[in-house]
Amino acid sequence: MKTYEIQGYAIVLDKVVFLTRVFEAEDGEGFQFNIRFNGDLRLAPRFATRPEADLQRSLLIKALSDA
């Protein structure tokens, strides 16, 4: 069971079923992307800048492809 840590959450990689693109969060609260898991669970990490959100999403995609 491979895991990946993002913003203090340990994500079990084989439970991830979908990632959204990076988009601007509501009320100007930065940028986010959504991670959907088996069982209709969702995690929406938010980041201060778009480049930071893009980087974290890219690293998660790499971890998923390596798993």
CB 33 within 8 A of CB 53: yes
Domain ranges of the chain: 3-66
User: Residue 1 has what pLDDT?
Assistant: 85
HEC sequence for 10-67: EEEHHHEEEECCCEECHHHCCEECCEEEHHHCEECCEECCHHHHHHHHHHHHHHHHHC
Report whether pLDDT(67) > 90: no
Q: Model confidence over 5-53: pLDDT tens digits?
A: 999 999 999 999 999 999 999 998 999 999 999 988 999 999 999 999 9
